[in-house]
Amino acid sequence: MPYFTSNQRRLFYREQGEGPLWTAIECPERVQAVGDDSLLPNVATQMCNIALQHSGSRVCFGSAGNHPLMWSQPGEFRSVADWFLSGFGCPIRR
């Protein structure tokens, strides 16, 4: 993980041997990225592997933007987030 500082790595991973933090998530999650992310190599493979670990998860890829998508493409990010949350009966506020 050469793209993370030691503090980020500590936040991203739990205690040694327990694996990545996302393995502790027990609910569906939305994984959203840009196919040509400059920060994450092999982003499609990484995002799909994360989502496959959680039943009901969705992977959404955009063709424009960069990392983090919520800043580079806030409209698209919010649109996909609203779509994902509406599937769970969450009210969407504009």
Residue 3 lies in a domain: no
Residue 74 lies in a domain: yes
Residue 15 lies in a domain: no
Which pTM was predicted?
0.64
Give the domain extent around 56. 27-86
| Per-residue pLDDT tens over the stretch 36-58 | 888 888 888 888 888 887 778 88
Q: What is the spatial distance between Cα 48 and Cα 39, in angstroms, rounded to a whole number?
A: 16
Q: Write a three-state SS string for 7-39.
A: HHHHHHECCCCCCEHHHHCCCCCEEEEECCCCC
| Per-residue pLDDT tens over the stretch 3-38 | 555 555 555 555 555 666 666 677 778 888 888 888
**How many domains does the chain contain in total?**
1
